[in-house]
Every structure is written in C-alpha cells, then in structure tokens.
Chains A and B, each alone.
Chain A
Amino acid sequence: MGAFFTSRIVSDILIGAAQGVLVGLIALSLVLIWQSTHVLNFAQGAMAMFAAFCGMTMLEHGLNYWVCVLISLVAAMLLGGVTERVLVRPLYGKAEINSIVVMVGFLGILESGASSIWSGMARQLTSPLSQTYFTLGSKTLYLSPFSLFQIGSALTLMLGVAALFRFTKIGLQLRASALAPEVSRLLGVRVSRMLTLGWIISSAVGAFAAIIIATSGSGLFPSNMDGFFVFGFIAAAIGGLESPGGAILAGLLIGIIQTFVADYLSPSWVAFTPVLILVLSQLVRPAGIFTKNTTRRL
C-alpha cells in the first residue's frame, strides 16, 4: 500500500493537485467576474499580486502570517470594489476590445506600480506550516503540512463560494444580476451593488491564491502571477468561462497534466501544455467543455 502512495504516478498527481487547486481558484475568480459583468479581467493576477504585497510585506515588520493574510484579503476586496466602480463601470455595454485594452493597461500599471513600491526582487514568505514532504518508510510521500493546507483551504474556499451563491439571499441576487440584470433591477435588486460585490469576492479569491503561490513557490514578486494567470484563464476558458465548477475542474486537470509533462517529457514543454489543451478543447467544443450548447448571439 505504501509503495502505491509513493509511486511516481501518485506523486505526480499529488504535486499536480496542489498546483491545480490554485489554478482552479484563479479560474474561479475569473469566472465570477465574467459571469456577472462579461469582462475578462486581464488584471486579475496583477490585482491579486498587488493585494498580496499590501499585506504580506508586513511579515517583515514581525506581524503574524495569518494577520498578514487577513490584511491582504481586505486590501484585495477594496481593490476589487474600487476597480469595478472606477475602471470597469464605464465599460459596460461597450465593445469587447475596450474592456480588454483597459484591463491590460491596468495590468501594466499594477505590475510597474508594485515594482516601484516594493522593487522587482522576489521576497520569500516564511511559511507558517512545514513544507517538508512526509515520508512513508524510506520513500517520500509528496504531501507536506503546507500542501495539505493548500489543497484543503482551496477546496474549502471553493465550497464556500458555491454555498454563498447557492444558498444565501445575496447569492440569489448575485446570480440573478448576472443572468438578467434588467429584470433584476425591475424587481428592486441593487444590481450595480451586486456587480461590485462580485468583483470584491473574485478579488479576494484571487488574492488568496496569490498568497499561497508566493508562499509555496518562488516568493512574491511583481510578475509572479503572470504564468498562473494564464493557466487560470485557460482553465476558465476550457470550462466555457460561465461554469465555476468546470473552471475548477479544468484547473485541477491542468495542474496534474503539467506535472506529468514535466516529469515524463520535459520541463520546457510545461508552459506550452495549457495552450495546447486550450486549442484542443476549443476545437472540440468552442463553447467550453462544461457548458450546454448555446446559439450565437447576433
């Protein structure tokens, strides 16, 4: 039994799943915004990075890790809300290219801004939990207390968001605002507040992912979300941009497939793998693998 858990395949799956839940969180964050405002937030990774910087640099001033996380999340919510109100609101109903360009511009501002405030150097965040892998006998089991936390908290967060949308009053209004904004307004729902709230939630989810990525990987630096954002985007696109569950699942798959590619083929192919997956999935099902067929809107 122990040999099974430490086998090459299971090891790859464990490592891949730990990456994959993070990709899934970013994908979820993108889908939440896309569903309600039909804006693809190209600045999502950068916003998450910026918010993570706001809190996590306090570590250097001796603050507790979890307090720093809390500060980052609050910063992320503020940033998300303000972004929606100031930058995104004027874009509703405009051509797609306008929102793409504005969000790409915002991405540039945030990354250069972070470099000028905190410098471009990577900061190591001391992990509150051990990152040494467990061992089974003499073999390594590719799980550590931190990676367990990573997978567990990401799944909890996903379930939490799902429950919020499914079972609460606010969730019903959030969904209605995304599905039928005009009808929702006619029923007295504060749709514009709901859109802001969607950005706030999405931004917090993204920032949480950014913190975990910075803690588990190569530290926190201005462009450290670029790669993950692309993977998250691809996961969301494979899921059809409309399906939170599909996005999470696709994220998990991307994480695992990438680990296999790195292990069995070559690490230099890892970056291209998600692009290939995206292209293949789009050729098979242009509307996304996990969405029902819809007709083209004219």
Chain B
Amino acid sequence: MKITQILLRLRYSSLGRLVLALLGTVVAICVVLLVSAQSDTYIANAGAMTIAILGLSLLTGWSGQVSIGNSGFMAVGAFTTGIWANHHQSSPIIISLLLSILTGAIAGLLVGIPATRLKGPYLAGMTLAFVTAMVPFIQSLGKLTGGSGGLFFANLSSPSWFANLSGDPQNFIVANYRWAATVSVVITGVAYYFMSNLFASRAGRAMRLVRDNDVAAELMGVNLGRVRVGAFVISAAYAGLAGSLVALLSGVARADNFGLALSIEILSLLVLGGIGTLSGALMAGLLAAYASTLIAKLNALFGLNPYSNLGSNSQGIIFGLLLVVTMLTAPQGMAGLLKKISHLRARKEAE
C-alpha cells in the first residue's frame, strides 16, 4: 500500500517520471527474459499497441477529439519503415523508427488541419473516411507499396551479444523473440516517458481544458486551433511509431492489416483501460498483451474451432461487446473502476 503510494507520487516531478519509466522498463525487460518465447511475441506486439493507444489517449482522452482513423497513421509508419528497409538494408532501426514518426506526424498535420475545424461526429466521420480511403490508396500505389500483397523485408534479429546474454547462444530463434520484445518494451518506455511529461505540461493542461470547455479555454488565451492540430500531430506521430514497430516485428507491411478493424481494436482497448488517464492507457496496453491469448482461451473454452466462421471472428465480436458494455456501464474504464475502489477503501479507512 505504502509503496504504491510512493510510486504514484513520483509522477508529480519530472525526475520522478523518469524514474518511473526506467523502473517500468527494467521490470518489463526482466519479464521478457523470464517468460516463454511465445509470450514474448505477445509482449512485443502489445508494446506497439500501447504506443498507438497512448497516442489515441492523447487525442481522444485529453483533447476530446474522437478518432477512428489512427490505424491509417499506423499504416503510414509501417510503409515508411518497409520502403526504407527495402532501400537501405543495413541502416539501423532507429532511423526507420524516427522516419516513421516523422511521416506519421506529417500525415497527422495534413489530416489534422482540416479535421480540427470539425467537431464531434463530423471529426470522427472524417477520420473514418480517412482510414477507409487509406487502404485502397496504399494498395493502388503498385510497386512502391507492393499493392495488395504488401511489402516484405527483414524483421528484427538479435545481435550476437544479446543472444549470448539471454542464455542459449545456439538458439537464435528464441533470442530473436527476446530481442524483439526487449526493443519493443524499451521503445514503449521511451514513448511513455514523453507522454507522461506532456501530460503534466502546460500543453497537456491546455488540451484537457479545450476538451472540457473550449469556450473557457479560448477566453483564457488558449489557441484552440493550435492545441487541436498539435494533439493530432503528436497522436499521429505515436501511431506512426507504433506502425513502424508492428512492421519491424513482423517483417511485413500490408495495407489491410491497418484498416478500420485495427482502429476499433485500439479504441476498444483504450475505452476498456480508461479514457483520459495515462494509467488507463497502460492498462489498455497490458490488455493488448493478453487479448489474443484470452480470446484463444475463450474459443477453447466454448469448444470453438479457431478457423471456423465464429472462431475466427470471436475477437471482433468480443471487442465490440466490450466497447459497448464498458461505455454504457462504466465509461471511465478499468482505471476509473480502480480509482473508485481505492476511494471507497480510503473512505473506509478514514472512518
């Protein structure tokens, strides 16, 4: 109880946030090294999802702009990575990642400038239009993007020092999994660190003010347009990074993997974790790590063949149901529920 309180208090200073992010990353790396290689692939993908969720949390949770188009920005990042990787085989991944952040941000700017003039459902509808236009657009680019077949390139492989370090130097397959998960966890840690600083900064407060009452924010001298576009750009940059990571982990970039379904998945996870709080986004990331395992377990529990019609679609149904039920019954998500529980406890202790 005491320790969690101390940890929670850490987030109020910038050094504390650094410590938190470092601690979290180190703990996550230890987990990566201890669990099975299979679990490592889940963790690696969950890292990418967490980054995308953090970006959406900023846009939707803080600045109040609902986007169902962030998977489109992920596609931009993934294809940036793929195209770069095919032309510069030996360049370090950090360049791919940075480039994808950049192209994601540019795409965010292009979509954001007109989009931020729209409100509520108009904006959501426009991001939907963006993502549905993006998939066929990428596919129509032919050789550059590999058409509907997608792009193939080398995925992450462990350097030999890491393979030596992580145990069995002969078994490169396991080392590769561990390495991918470690890279993913580290990038997620860095992304989280930046986001937590942004959350505490003036800009973060301005965003939340715009979400809660745009008129008051305007009267207080906040530049509405700039805040909204800024949120779009950062959110898209995060999505670009996430897309890049997804591509690096799998060695493929296929447009239809970044369609509406992925946007819905990110939104579901965010809502489930809790909109508008960093802890909610992190919880959503944890959920992402376990979602596919859980759904596979559920399928097994009900005796569903995962390749049958129902089995292969149960994930979509479950995500949709979770989205609807959470919004109708506990719109603050898990983070909100936990807060409520701890408040109740605190009150009980006080009595």
Contact = CB atoms under 8 A, between A and B. Distances in A.
Interface residues of B, number: 48
Contact of B118 (A100, A226, A282): A282
Contacts, number: 140
B66 A109 contact: no
Given A104-B267, A112-B316, A282-B122, A271 B323 contact: no
B125 A234 contact: yes
B120 interface: yes
B314 interface: yes
Contacts of B311: 116
Contacts of B331: 94, 98
| Residue of A34, A97, A109, A117 with most partner-chain B CB within 10 A | A97
A100 B66 CA distance: 8
B264 interface: yes
A184 interface: no
Nearest to A298: B215
B129 A278 contact: yes
| Residue of A87, A90, A226, A283 with most partner-chain B CB within 10 A | A226
A174 interface: no
Contacts of A118: 309
Interface in A270-286: 271-272, 274-275, 278-279, 282-283, 286
A117 B309 contact: yes
Contact of A112 (B68, B122, B320): B320
Interface string A79-106: 0000000010011001011101110111
B132 A227 contact: yes
A260 interface: no
Interface size class, chain A: 35 or more
Interface of B: 60, 64, 66, 68, 114, 117-118, 120-122, 124-126, 128-130, 132-133, 136-137, 140-141, 215, 260-261, 264, 267-268, 271, 275, 309-317, 319-324, 327-328, 331
Q: Which 7 A-B pairs have the closest CB atoms?
A: A112-B316, A105-B323, A108-B320, A268-B140, A109-B320, A40-B121, A271-B133
Interface of A: 34, 40, 42, 87, 90-91, 94, 96-98, 100-102, 104-113, 115-120, 226-227, 230, 233-234, 237, 241, 267-268, 271-272, 274-275, 278-279, 282-283, 286, 298
